[in-house]
């Protein structure tokens, strides 16, 4: 450790000298190294004095990096940061928008109350800045200032109101986040901006979309009527023990109600969020799903089911949250998930928490139609080695039996069979569930009670023994001959039993004393005497209480007369309910919903209003000048005329529609903004017009028939190392033989597709003409770029396998015949190589440890113990690139999946005597599992 600190100090001294240099190049190099250190998690706080001196550097690149450093350490080194506050204030006036934004970011990171007025002034000025990027930074600074000094709330609300009127997509998400942090109760600020936010939503960055959708969900619950009001009233009216006449009167009253008409603004929100169900960001899809669940009419909620099932299949990292929400939805909206029942079947590779949630969903979806299928699944799950999962499955069977009376006897018999299982935990859980089921119809199942009584000799799990004793005591009248014998055995072992079992033995003795005192009087006294001197005070107190209650004496009170009513009263059967029942009062996807308890900072989901608030509050007056300019721009664009005017600065700053387009185009990336910030809007628009004209000329040169087949792609000569597969045998193909290989070359028309090269050979005497594809059948998400009708012997086609090994099926047609064929890729061909340095490889591997890592030990054959052979065999099994490695006992490889770009890292570490270890780190565990099998086969064959 001392050596490491010494080297760090030496390195820091070197960096300090570079920062004190007069050369900007040395300063830039030093700042790059320092920022890289911070990115790797190393402490660079002792460099603060040397860095802060360069805050006034004229070099833009150095200044940017200095600001990045200061944002990280300004809060820790407040005194030194305050010395440079005048420099930050000058930075707020810098011509470069990135410097202005960085200066504001640093200023808001200094957590000192004395500079609150300076921060407030800076935020107000930045909120009126011409650059949307600076306005976005001002929105980010608002919550920081509010947490530092809550008394500034009123002034900050004014700034938020101004930024909410901004029409650029870059600002929208950030200002809504500031609104949620500072003044979420000020719904009136949203009224005028509601329609604008709905229309901008599709173009806002993804995390901004999540914030806006969550805010609009709560807003809609306060401003619109419940679209399911009639259905919910009918459900409430139909329940209870009301007479037929009362129900008829309620239905008639509902019929007289004014029919529900959805507010156009309510419909606008639903319509504009629906396309976001196709988003690649799981959080966005979840946000839209909860919005539809809380706001949409019952008939329209079903659209979210397919999106959530797709998330479940494609994003393993969000399965837990998705299943939490689906489990809540299935309680009230069961029908929308029934078509996707098989998507919730449990895999052996699922973690226990995922298995339990899938069980919950399957139980909620169970009905008379699908219960037989679900019970067959449950029978398979009971054989699992995961004991917690088996216990949850048995509980699920009990819930199914409770909810569906038709299968109650079947479930009960199945659970009784489990009582002979060798595993005590399975037997114990079965006993507990059987106990709950028997309470519903005990008189029909006396044989089962007798069978369970016999198990007291074998079952040792305390909860199970206690449940059996409770059952025998509760229904001792149904088993009058067996119950006293059970008490006799329990009295013998009383002192060795667990406390929960002792309490039930005392209860059993009391009930038998009251119903069969001739046979059990002495046994009861014996048990009570043992309990009187037990170490547990609960047991001692219970024994004294029961003795006074059931054995009348002169001192006994009036309660002894009612002993039978107290002990033998009919007890209602337990209701087996889902733990997700009534959890939907929390907003889905929130932390409170996940915990089923109100978390700090949670904002309640409002109840629907009884009467619709005034919709005119969302009407916005459009200035005549702005309207005229908007109409004029629309006319110019329609006629393809050159745009020769721009809006005034005031219109642009206020975020008018025509100004927002130019602002958005200028805020695509920070580097572009800094380099092109000096160009005028007219020059940018002229360039756009030129580009449009060039595109039109190119389109005119294209053939008129857009449905003609594309030209044949350039073929790639197959390498001898590439394995060929048979697509069509010459006998099956009546002389036509087709082979294919995965060329491992980029497929130029679409980077997300795998290039498949096909070789055609005609062994027949007659010519084969018009080779083409028809009737392509693909799994969901897969795509094919078909090769055109060809006359040559080779062709290249592109297939997007969607990172799966599902086959692409199609018909290969000639001018006379059609042949059904399929192409199924090995998992190694679903990747493309990437080039990483050794440090980059180690960093990425460190982030993919744990659940994203698979390790297998193997023994290498004598021929495969040299580095060259290992590399050859691994790269033949998977399209990966070699990564440099300092050790001669390790071979490293890297790649990404073609469709999703998921990272794949492979390490083969050799040891003595041919022993080796294969490690695969992969963002998609399904890909990693299959890849391990293929590489193991390649290395050991």
pLDDT band at 444; cut points 50, 70, 90:
low
| 865 pLDDT above the threshold of 70 | yes
Highest-pLDDT range among 461-465, 625-629, 806-810: 806-810
Instruction: Please name the residues in contact with 1: beta carbons below 8 A apart, sequence gap of 6 or more.
Output: none
**CA 320 – CA 224 distance, rounded (Å):** 32
**CA 138 – CA 118 distance, rounded (Å):** 13
Q: Is 357 helix (H, G, I), strand (E, B) or coil?
A: helix
Instruction: Please name the residues in contact with 427: beta carbons below 8 A apart, sequence gap of 6 or more.
Output: 418, 419, 421, 455, 459, 461, 464
CB 605 within 8 A of CB 328: no
Specify the pLDDT at position 689.
53
Specify the pLDDT at position 637.
52
Token digits of residue 395: 């509980």
Q: What is the pLDDT of residues 588-618, one digit of tens each?
A: 877 887 777 778 777 778 888 888 888 888 8
First and final C-alpha spacing in the chain: 46
| Mean pLDDT on 423-449 | 76
pLDDT band at 232; cut points 50, 70, 90:
low
Specify the pLDDT at position 234.
44
For the residues of 395-455, what is the DSSP string, one character each?
A: HHHHHHHHH-GGGHHHHHHHHHHHTT-S-HHHHHHHHHHHHHHHTTSGGG-HHHHHHHHHG
User: Quick one: three-class SS letters along 262-294?
Assistant: CCHHHHHHHHHHHHHHHCCCHHHHHHHHHHHHH
CB 47 within 8 A of CB 12: yes
Highest-pLDDT range among 17-31, 77-91, 241-255, 563-577: 17-31
Specify the pLDDT at position 179.
94
Query: Considering only 96-110, 560-574, 906-920, which range has the smallest mean pLDDT?
Result: 560-574
Specify the pLDDT at position 715.
33
CB 595 within 8 A of CB 210: no
| 939 pLDDT above the threshold of 70 | yes
Q: Which residue has the higher pLDDT, 164 or 475?
A: 164
DSSP assignment letter at 21: S
Alpha-carbon distances of 454 from 411, 414, 471, 472, 482, rounded to whole Å: 21, 18, 13, 11, 9
**CA 905 – CA 259 distance, rounded (Å):** 60
Specify the pLDDT at position 713.
32
Specify the pLDDT at position 288.
94
| pLDDT > 70 in the chain, percent | 83
pLDDT band at 627; cut points 50, 70, 90:
low
pLDDT band at 667; cut points 50, 70, 90:
very low
| 411 pLDDT above the threshold of 60 | yes
| 9 pLDDT above the threshold of 70 | no
Specify the pLDDT at position 197.
92
**CA 305 – CA 282 distance, rounded (Å):** 14
Highest-pLDDT range among 128-137, 320-329, 543-552: 128-137
Which of 265, 262, 263, 317 is closest to 286 using CA atoms? 317
**CA 194 – CA 202 distance, rounded (Å):** 14
pLDDT band at 820; cut points 50, 70, 90:
confident
Residues paired with 319 in a beta bridge = none
| 245 pLDDT above the threshold of 80 | no
| pLDDT > 90 in the chain, percent | 17
Q: Which residue has the higher pLDDT, 480 or 393?
A: 393
| 285 pLDDT above the threshold of 60 | yes
| Mean pLDDT on 299-312 | 88
Q: Classify each residue of 184-210 as buried b or exposed e, where b means 16 or more C-beta atoms within 10 Å of its C-beta.
A: eeebebbbbbbbbbbebbeebeeebbb
CB 806 within 8 A of CB 782: yes
Specify the pLDDT at position 694.
52
**CA 302 – CA 197 distance, rounded (Å):** 25
DSSP assignment letter at 719: P
Q: Are strands 794-800 and 831-833 parallel, antiparallel or unpaired?
A: unpaired
- The dihedral region occupied by 710, where left means phi > 0, alpha psi between -120 and 50, and beta the remainder, is beta
Specify the pLDDT at position 70.
79
Instruction: Please name the residues in contact with 765: beta carbons below 8 A apart, sequence gap of 6 or more.
Output: 735
Which of 405, 479, 406 is closest to 442 using CA atoms? 479
**CA 366 – CA 334 distance, rounded (Å):** 9
pLDDT band at 173; cut points 50, 70, 90:
very high
Specify the pLDDT at position 864.
85
| Mean pLDDT on 371-394 | 87
Work out the widest C-alpha separation in the chain, in whole angstroms. Answer: 117
Alpha-carbon distances of 248 from 230, 234, 238, 254, 257, rounded to whole Å: 15, 11, 9, 10, 15
Q: What is the pLDDT of residues 358-378, one digit of tens each?
A: 998 998 888 888 888 888 888
Specify the pLDDT at position 701.
40
pLDDT band at 629; cut points 50, 70, 90:
low
CB 247 within 8 A of CB 325: no
- Cα torsion at 741, 745, 746, 749 (round to 10°)? -50
pLDDT band at 257; cut points 50, 70, 90:
low
pLDDT band at 258; cut points 50, 70, 90:
low
Specify the pLDDT at position 158.
93
Instruction: Please name the residues in contact with 529: beta carbons below 8 A apart, sequence gap of 6 or more.
Output: none
Highest-pLDDT range among 86-90, 499-503, 769-773: 499-503
Alpha-carbon distances of 328 from 49, 245, 319, 358, 718, rounded to whole Å: 55, 35, 14, 12, 54
| 885 pLDDT above the threshold of 60 | yes
**CA 381 – CA 379 distance, rounded (Å):** 6
CB 854 within 8 A of CB 932: yes
Q: Which residue has the higher pLDDT, 681 or 728?
A: 728
Q: If you average pLDDT over every residue of the chain, what do you get?
A: 79
For the residues of 749-806, what is the DSSP string, one character each?
A: T-TTSEEEEEEEEE-SSS----BEEEEEE--TT-EEE----B-SSEEEEEEE-TTS-P
Alpha-carbon distances of 621 from 626, 627, 647, rounded to whole Å: 11, 10, 19
**CA 807 – CA 927 distance, rounded (Å):** 15
Q: Are strands 890-897 and 903-910 parallel, antiparallel or unpaired?
A: antiparallel
For the residues of 143-198, what is the DSSP string, one character each?
A: HHHHHH-GGGHHHHHHHHHHHHT---HHHHHHHHHHHHHH-TT-THHHHTTHHHHH
Which of 629, 577, 584, 628 is closest to 604 using CA atoms? 584
Instruction: Please name the residues in contact with 660: beta carbons below 8 A apart, sequence gap of 6 or more.
Output: 167, 168, 169
Q: Which residue has the higher pLDDT, 710 or 941?
A: 941
DSSP assignment letter at 621: P
For the residues of 694-710, what is the DSSP string, one character each?
A: HHHHHHHHS-S-TTSPP
**What are the sequence ranges of the domains in the chain?**
14-227, 460-569, 724-825, 830-940
Q: Which residue has the higher pLDDT, 809 or 734?
A: 809
Query: Considering only 720-729, 739-748, 818-827, which range has the smallest mean pLDDT?
Result: 720-729
Which of 364, 230, 217 is closest to 292 using CA atoms? 217
CATH H-level, domain 830-940: superfamily: TATA-Binding Protein (3.30.310.10)
| 646 pLDDT above the threshold of 50 | no
Instruction: Please name the residues in contact with 691: beta carbons below 8 A apart, sequence gap of 6 or more.
Output: none
| 880 pLDDT above the threshold of 70 | yes
| Mean pLDDT on 268-289 | 91
Which of 55, 136, 63 is closest to 99 using CA atoms? 63
Indicate the burial class of 142 (C-beta count within 10 angstroms; 0-12, 13-18, 19 or more). buried
| 678 pLDDT above the threshold of 60 | no
- Cα torsion at 221, 222, 225, 227 (round to 10°)? 0
**CA 768 – CA 264 distance, rounded (Å):** 61
Token digits of residue 675: 């380099």
How many CB atoms neighbour CB 652 within 10 A? 19
Q: Classify each residue of 121-137 as buried b or exposed e, where b means 16 or more C-beta atoms within 10 Å of its C-beta.
A: ebbeebbebebbbbbbb
| 521 pLDDT above the threshold of 70 | yes
| 696 pLDDT above the threshold of 50 | no
Give the CATH number of domain 14-227: 1.25.10.10
User: 724-825: which CATH topology?
Assistant: Immunoglobulin-like (2.60.40)
| 321 pLDDT above the threshold of 50 | yes
Residues paired with 823 in a beta bridge = 808
**CA 736 – CA 760 distance, rounded (Å):** 7
* Owner of token pair 């305050």: 82
**CA 232 – CA 247 distance, rounded (Å):** 14
The DSSP H or E segment spanning 746 is strand 736-746
**CA 519 – CA 450 distance, rounded (Å):** 19
| Mean pLDDT on 634-639 | 53
Specify the pLDDT at position 317.
78
């Amino acid at each position: 450790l001392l050596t490491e600190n010494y080297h760090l100090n030496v390195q820091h001294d070197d960096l300090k000298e570079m920062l004190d240099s007069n050369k900007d190049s040395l300063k830039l190099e030093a700042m790059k190294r320092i920022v890289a250190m911070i990115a790797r998690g190393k402490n660079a706080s002792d460099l603060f004095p040397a860095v802060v001196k360069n805050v006034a550097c004229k070099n833009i690149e150095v200044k940017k990096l200095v600001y990045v450093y200061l944002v990280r350490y300004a809060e820790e080194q407040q005194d030194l940061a305050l010395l440079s506050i005048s420099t930050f204030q000058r930075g707020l006036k810098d011509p470069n928008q990135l410097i202005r934004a960085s200066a504001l970011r640093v200023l808001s990171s200094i957590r000192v109350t004395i500079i609150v007025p300076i921060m407030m002034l800076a935020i107000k000025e930045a909120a009126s800045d011409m650059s949307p990027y600076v306005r976005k930074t001002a929105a980010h600074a608002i919550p920081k200032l509010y947490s530092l000094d809550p008394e500034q709330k009123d002034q900050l609300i004014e700034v938020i109101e101004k930024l909410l009127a901004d029409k650029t997509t870059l600002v929208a998400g950030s200002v809504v986040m500031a609104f949620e942090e500072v003044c979420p109760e000020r719904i009136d600020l949203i009224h005028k901006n509601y329609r604008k936010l709905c229309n901008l939503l599709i173009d806002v960055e993804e995390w901004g979309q999540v914030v806006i959708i969550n805010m609009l969900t709560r807003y809609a619950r306060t401003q619109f009527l419940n679209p399911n009001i009639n259905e919910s009233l009918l459900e409430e009216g139909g329940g209870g023990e009301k007479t037929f006449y009362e129900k008829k009167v309620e239905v008639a009253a509902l019929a007289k109600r004014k029919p529900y008409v959805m507010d156009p603004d309510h419909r606008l929100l639903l319509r504009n969020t629906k396309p976001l169900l196709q988003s690649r960001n799981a959080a966005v899809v979840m946000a839209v799903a909860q919005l539809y669940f809380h706001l949409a009419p019952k008939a329209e909620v079903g659209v979210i089911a397919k999106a959530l099932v797709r998330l479940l299949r494609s994003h393993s990292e969000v399965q837990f949250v998705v299943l939490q929400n689906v489990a809540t939805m299935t309680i009230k909206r069961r029908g929308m998930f029934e078509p996707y029942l098989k998507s919730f079947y449990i895999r052996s590779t699922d973690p226990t928490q995922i298995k339990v949630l899938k069980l919950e969903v399957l139980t909620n979806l169970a009905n008379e139609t699908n219960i037989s299928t679900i019970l067959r699944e449950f029978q398979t799950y009971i054989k699992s080695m995961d004991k917690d999962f088996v216990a949850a499955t048995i509980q699920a069977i009990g819930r199914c039996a409770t909810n569906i009376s038709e299968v109650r006897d079947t479930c009960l018999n199945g659970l009784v069979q489990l009582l002979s299982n060798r595993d005590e935990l399975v037997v114990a859980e079965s006993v507990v569930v059987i106990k709950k089921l028997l309470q519903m119809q005990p008189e029909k199942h006396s044989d089962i009670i007798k069978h369970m009584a016999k198990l007291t000799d074998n079952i040792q799990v305390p909860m199970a023994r206690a449940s059996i004793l409770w059952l025998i005591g509760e229904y001792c009248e149904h088993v009058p001959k067996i119950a006293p014998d059970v008490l006799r055995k329990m009295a013998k072992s009383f002192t060795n039993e667990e406390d929960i079992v002792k309490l039930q033995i005392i209860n059993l003795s009391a009930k038998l004393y009251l119903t069969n005192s001739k046979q059990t009087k002495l046994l009861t006294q014996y048990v009570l005497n043992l309990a009187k001197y037990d170490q547990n005070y609960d047991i001692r107190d219970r024994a004294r209480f029961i003795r006074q209650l059931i054995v009348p004496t002169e001192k006994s009170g009036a309660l002894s007369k009612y002993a039978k009513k107290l002990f033998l009263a009919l007890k209602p059967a337990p209701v087996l309910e889902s733990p997700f029942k009534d959890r939907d009062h929390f907003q889905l996807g929130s932390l409170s919903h996940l915990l089923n308890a109100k978390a700090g900072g949670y904002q309640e989901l409002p109840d629907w209003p009884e009467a619709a608030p005034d919709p005119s509050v969302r009407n916005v007056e459009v200035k005549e000048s702005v309207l005229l300019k908007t109409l004029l721009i629309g006319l110019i664009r329609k006629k393809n005329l050159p745009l020769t005017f721009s809006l005034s600065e005031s219109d642009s700053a206020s975020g008018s529609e025509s100004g927002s387009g130019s602002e958005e185009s200028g805020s695509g990336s920070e580097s572009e903004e800094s380099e092109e910030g000096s160009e005028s809007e007219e020059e940018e628009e002229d360039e756009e017009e030129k580009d449009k004209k060039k595109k039109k000329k190119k389109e005119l040169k294209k053939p008129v028939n857009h449905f003609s087949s594309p030209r044949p792609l350039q073929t790639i000569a197959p390498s001898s190392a590439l394995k060929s597969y048979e697509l069509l045998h010459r006998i099956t193909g009546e002389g036509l033989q087709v082979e294919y290989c995965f060329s491992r070359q980029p497929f130029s028309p679409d980077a997300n597709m795998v290039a498949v090269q096909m070789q055609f050979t005609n062994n027949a005497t007659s010519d084969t003409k018009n080779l083409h594809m028809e009737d392509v059948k693909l799994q969901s998400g897969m795509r094919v770029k078909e090769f055109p009708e060809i006359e040559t012997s080779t062709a290249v086609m592109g297939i997007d396998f969607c990172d799966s090994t599902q086959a692409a099926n199609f018909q290969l047609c000639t001018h006379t015949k059609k042949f059904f064929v399929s192409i199924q890729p090995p998992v190694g061909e679903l990747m493309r190589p990437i080039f990483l340095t050794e440090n980059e490889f180690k960093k990425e591997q460190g982030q993919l440890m744990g659940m994203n890592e698979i390790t297998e030990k193997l023994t290498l054959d004598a021929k495969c113990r040299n580095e060259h052979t290992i590399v050859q065999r691994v790269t033949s099994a998977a399209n990966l690139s070699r990564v440099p490695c300092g050790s001669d006992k390790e071979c490293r490889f890297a790649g990404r999946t073609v469709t999703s770009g998921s990272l794949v890292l492979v390490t083969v570490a050799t040891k003595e005597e041919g022993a080796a270890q294969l490690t695969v780190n992969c963002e998609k565990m399904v890909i990693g599992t299959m890849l391990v099998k293929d590489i193991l086969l390649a290395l050991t064959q």
